[in-house]
Amino acid sequence: MKPLHEFDPADIRRLIEREGWEKPLAPVQRVQLTTRQQAVFWGLRVYVVVMTAVVVWAFMHGAAG
């Protein structure tokens, strides 16, 4: 791959204009989750905590024995 400084600036400018990279991004807003979606995400959090505890427990028992 060629370094950026080896490309023609006019080609780079055309690419930027064609792809629309000079335009500002659309605003991002939070989405209100449904109760079911919130429950799923809380379940995932609990799962991560439990799996982390299992891994720590297994590591501690494996390292000691």
Task: Return the pLDDT at 65.
Answer: 61
What gap in Å lies between CA 41 and CA 30, rounded to an integer? 15
Task: Return the pLDDT at 63.
Answer: 77
What gap in Å lies between CA 5 and CA 12, rounded to an integer? 10
Q: How far is CA 62 from CA 3, 47, 50, in A?
A: 50, 22, 18
Q: What's the average model confidence in pLDDT over 52-65?
A: 88
* pLDDT tens digits along 1-57: 888 888 999 999 999 999 999 999 999 999 999 999 999 999 999 999 999 999 999
Task: Write the DSSP symbol of residue 4.
Answer: G
Q: How far is CA 65 from CA 29, 54, 56, 58, 60, in A?
A: 51, 17, 14, 11, 9
Question: pTM value?
Answer: 0.55
